[in-house]
Amino acid sequence: MERVIAFFYCQNTPSSTETDRQMLEKKYGKNIRLFPIPCSGRLEPVHILRALESFTDAAYLITCPEGTCRYFEGNLRARKRVIRAQQFITAIGLEKERAGIYMRSAGNTKKLSEIVEELFEIASKLPPSPVFRYSEREV
Amino acid sequence: MITAEQKPIDEIRKMIAPYKRILVLGCASCVAECAAGGEKETAMLASTLRMAARMNQEDVVIQEKTLERQCVKDFVILLDDILDNYDAILSLGCGAGVQAVADMYEDIPVIPALNTEFIGETKDQGLWVENCLGCGDCMLYYFGGVCPLARCSKHLLNGPCGGSKDGRCEVNPDIPCAWQLIIDRLSRFNALDRLEEIYPPKDWSKKQGKGPRKIIREDQQK
Distance CA B26, CA B70 (A): 8
Which pairing describes strands A58-63 and A99-103: parallel, antiparallel, or unpaired? Answer: parallel
Give me chain A's average pLDDT, please: 94
Please tell me whether residue A125 adopts helix, strand or coil conformation.
coil
| CB-based contact A44 B40, cutoff 8 Å | yes
CB B176 within 8 A of CB B168: yes
Domain assignment of residue A139, yes or no? no
Report the number of distinct structural domains present in chain A.
Answer: 1
CB B6 within 8 A of CB B113: yes
Say whether residue B43 is in contact with chain A using an 8 A CB cutoff.
yes
Q: C-alpha distances in angstroms, B221 versus B50, B166, B208, B216?
A: 42, 50, 25, 8
Say whether residue A136 is in contact with chain B using an 8 A CB cutoff.
no
CB B46 within 8 A of CB B63: yes
Q: ipTM value, please give it.
A: 0.95
CATH value at residue A62: 3.40.50
Whether pTM exceeds 0.90: yes
Nearest to B43 by CA among A78, A1, A47: A47
Interface probe, candidates B45, B54, B62, B125, chain A, greatest A C-beta count within 10 A: B54
Q: Judge whether residue B67 has pLDDT over 90.
A: yes
CB B22 within 8 A of CB B88: yes
CB B164 within 8 A of CB B175: no
pLDDT tens digits for range A9-55: 999 988 999 999 999 999 999 999 999 999 999 999 999 999 999 99
Say whether residue A44 is in contact with chain B using an 8 A CB cutoff.
yes
Distance CA A129, CA A48 (A): 14
Whether the bond into B160 is cis, omega within 30 of 0 = yes
Which pairing describes strands B127-132 and B114-124: parallel, antiparallel, or unpaired? Answer: antiparallel
Please tell me whether residue A28 adopts helix, strand or coil conformation.
helix
A88 contacts on B by Cβ (under 8 Å): 9, 44, 48
How many CB pairs below 8 Å do chains A and B form together?
Answer: 50
Domain assignment of residue A90, yes or no? yes
Say whether residue B9 is in contact with chain A using an 8 A CB cutoff.
yes
Distance CA B114, CA B12 (A): 9
Which pLDDT belongs to residue A45? Answer: 97
Listed in sequence order, the residues at least 6 apart from B41 whose beta carbon sits closer than 8 Å to its beta carbon are B6, B26, B31, B32, B35, B92
Q: How confident is the model at residue A1 (pLDDT cuts 50, 70, 90)?
A: low
Which pLDDT belongs to residue B181? Answer: 98
A57 contacts on B by Cβ (under 8 Å): none
Please tell me whether residue B174 adopts helix, strand or coil conformation.
coil
Distance CA B181, CA A117 (A): 57
Which pLDDT belongs to residue B136? Answer: 87
Q: How confident is the model at residue B203 (pLDDT cuts 50, 70, 90)?
A: confident
Fold for B2-118, please state it. Rossmann fold (3.40.50)
Cβ under 8 Å to A: B residues 129-158: none
CA atoms within 13 A on the CB side of A136: 2
Residue B126 Rama label (left phi>0; alpha psi -120 to 50; beta):
left
A134 contacts on B by Cβ (under 8 Å): 54, 57
Q: How far is B115 from chain A (nearest CA, A)?
A: 17
A50 contacts on B by Cβ (under 8 Å): 43, 47
Q: Cβ-count burial of B108 within 10 angstroms (0-12 exposed, 13-18 middle, 19+ buried)?
A: middle
| CB-based contact B54 A135, cutoff 8 Å | yes
Q: C-alpha distances in angstroms, B4 versus A26, B90, B114, B147?
A: 47, 15, 6, 21
Which pLDDT belongs to residue B81? Answer: 95
Say whether residue B220 is in contact with chain A using an 8 A CB cutoff.
no
Reported as type and span, the H/E element at residue A76 is: helix A74-91
No. of helices (H) and no. of strands (E), chain B: 7, 7
Domain assignment of residue A137, yes or no? no
CB A90 within 8 A of CB A55: no
Distance CA B161, CA B176 (A): 13
Nearest to A52 by CA among A63, A62, A60: A60
pLDDT tens digits for range B135-193: 888 999 999 999 999 999 999 999 999 999 999 999 999 999 999 999 999 999 999 99
Helices (H), chain B: 9-16, 30-33, 39-55, 73-76, 95-104, 148-151, 178-188
List where CATH 3.40.50.2300 sits in chain B.
2-118
Q: Judge whether residue B112 has pLDDT over 80.
A: yes
Domain ranges, residue A75: 5-132
- Name the residue among B10, B13, B51 with its Cβ closest to that of A52: B51
